[in-house]
């Protein structure tokens, strides 16, 4: 069993390498692939140096499972070619809503892996952490509607935006004029209620991803409305989620269910600091749930706060977990 990573030099690619290094998944060779710009560079893996290969000349038949961590345009061109020779786990948004491509969060809908045409999609990072918390609640009480506001770290946009946050922060503190290259407005000491392009109805593409992907993964009948905000945080997405059930619920049972949710941990003490923030979730495989409370305006609804490392469970970790399940089947 051999693995390959396309986009090995990027944020998600490097996180995938880190996770595989710690993983117990049995595989023989790891091939690292990127653009011509990164080809020839070396990355250490389990005590050895692996030379990055050029995507243009790479032979996809060398690996049985290939992780794509290179964005939608690369996926559009190369995933169909790769899928003729290898099983592709794609982290981009390009194939997510295709009817014959499973969109998978293993703790939520692992059964979707039973049928695929060598292409499997990884959900949007914000969708991922939300459906983890929603799944067991939906199984117990049936969710009617979800209202979510996200507070998304700059690492979700890539390395250049991370660098921009650092540079803007430095310039701002030195009373210098800030420059915005990767964001529509200054990100340092600011919030931007705009992620991805606007649709004709006023929602952004990121917000529509959360709606459409949740329906595909969980249940077409769940109504979802989202507001996605970019915040000056390096890593870790946070979400304020209002969940409305079909019927009345038992609040103590809700807490019990969330405490037993796979991949999640409840940290919810009603005191100063009794909750999780993104800086605490950075580098952690766990998705955290805090601020669990009844919605005082709706007897069928609750509010929760969900935080997760967007580069781990929100991206690289989930792809490796998918691979782990695939290896058992191969």
**CATH of residue 164:** 3.30.360.10
The CATH number covering residue 41 comes to 3.40.50.720
Q: With H, G, I as helix, E, B as strand and everything else as coil, classify residue 286.
A: coil
Q: Are residues 66 and 143 in the same domain?
A: no
Q: Are residues 173 and 37 in the same domain?
A: no
125 annotated active-site: yes
Integer Cα distance of 310 and 230 in angstroms: 13
Q: Are residues 132 and 93 in the same domain?
A: no
Radius of gyration of the chain from Cα atoms?
Answer: 20
Asked if residues 91 and 276 have their Cβ atoms less than 8 Å apart, the reply is no
Q: Which helix (H) or strand (E) holds 31?
A: strand 30-34
| Active-site pick, 116, 138, 228, 237 | 237
The count of structural domains within the chain is 2
Q: Are residues 319 and 289 in the same domain?
A: no
Q: Are residues 196 and 156 in the same domain?
A: yes
pLDDT of residue 60: 98
pLDDT of residue 330: 79
Q: Are residues 32 and 115 in the same domain?
A: yes
| DSSP states along 66-126 | EEE-S-HHHHHHHHHHHTTTSEEEE-SSTTTT-TTS-B--HHHHGGGGGS-SSEEEPPPHH
Tell me which residue range forms the domain holding 58: 3-122+315-329
For residue 164, give every residue at least 6 positions away whose Cβ sits within 8 Å of its Cβ, in sequence order, or none.
Answer: 154, 180, 181, 182, 183, 187
For residue 225, give every residue at least 6 positions away whose Cβ sits within 8 Å of its Cβ, in sequence order, or none.
Answer: 145, 146, 147, 148, 207, 211
Integer Cα distance of 20 and 26 in angstroms: 10
| Active-site pick, 116, 125, 228, 264 | 125
Q: Are residues 208 and 305 in the same domain?
A: yes
Asked if residues 76 and 91 have their Cβ atoms less than 8 Å apart, the reply is no
Q: Are residues 59 and 109 in the same domain?
A: yes
Q: Are residues 185 and 295 in the same domain?
A: yes
Q: Are residues 54 and 183 in the same domain?
A: no
pLDDT of residue 115: 94
- Exposed/middle/buried for residue 176 (C-beta within 10 Å: 0-12, 13-18, 19+): exposed
Integer Cα distance of 150 and 240 in angstroms: 6
Integer Cα distance of 89 and 325 in angstroms: 12
Q: Are residues 145 and 43 in the same domain?
A: no
β-sheet bridge partners, residue 192? 230
Q: Are residues 100 and 187 in the same domain?
A: no
β-sheet bridge partners, residue 45? 48
116 annotated active-site: no
Give, for all 330 residues of the chain, the pLDDT tens digit.
999 999 999 999 999 999 999 999 999 999 999 999 999 999 999 999 999 999 999 999 999 999 999 999 999 999 999 999 999 999 999 999 999 999 999 999 999 999 999 999 999 999 999 999 999 999 999 999 999 999 999 999 999 999 999 999 999 999 999 999 999 999 999 999 999 999 999 999 999 999 999 999 999 999 999 999 999 999 999 999 999 999 999 999 999 999 999 999 999 999 999 999 999 999 999 999 999 999 999 999 999 999 999 999 999 999 999 999 999 987
């Amino acid at each position: 069993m051999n693995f390959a990573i396309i986009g090995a030099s990027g944020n998600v690619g490097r996180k995938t390498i880190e996770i595989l290094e710690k993983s117990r998944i049995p595989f023989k060779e790891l091939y690292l692939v990127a653009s011509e710009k990164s080809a020839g560079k070396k990355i250490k893996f389990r005590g050895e140096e692996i030379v990055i290969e050029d995507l243009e000349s790479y032979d996809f038949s060398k690996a049985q499972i290939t992780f794509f961590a290179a964005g939608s345009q690369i996926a559009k061109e190369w995933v169909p070619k790769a899928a003729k020779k290898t099983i592709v786990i794609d982290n981009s948004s390009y194939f997510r809503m295709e009817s014959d491509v499973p969109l998978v969060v293993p703790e939520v809908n692992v059964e979707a892996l039973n049928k695929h045409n060598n292409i499997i999609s990884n959900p949007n990072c914000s969708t991922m952490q939300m459906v983890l918390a929603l799944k067991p609640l939906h199984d117990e009480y049936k969710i009617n509607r979800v209202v979510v506001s996200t507070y998304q770290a700059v690492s979700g946009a890539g390395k250049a935006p991370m660098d921009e946050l650092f540079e803007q922060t430095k310039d701002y503190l030195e009373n210098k004029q800030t420059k915005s290259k990767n964001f529509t407005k200054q990100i340092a000491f600011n919030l931007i209620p705009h992620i991805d392009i606007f649709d004709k109805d006023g929602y952004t593409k990121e917000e529509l991803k959360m709606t459409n992907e949740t329906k595909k993964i969980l249940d077409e009948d769940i109504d979802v409305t989202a507001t996605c905000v970019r915040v000056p945080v390096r890593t870790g997405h946070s979400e304020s989620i209002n969940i409305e059930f079909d019927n009345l619920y038992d609040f103590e049972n809700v807490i019990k269910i969330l405490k037993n949710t796979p991949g999640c941990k409840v940290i919810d003490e009603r005191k100063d600091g009794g909750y999780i923030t993104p800086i605490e979730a950075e580098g952690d495989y766990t998705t955290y749930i805090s601020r669990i409370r009844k919605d005082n305006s709706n007897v069928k609804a609750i509010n929760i706060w969900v935080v997760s490392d967007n580069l781990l469970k929100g991206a690289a970790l989930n792809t490796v977990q998918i691979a782990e399940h695939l290896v058992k089947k191969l």
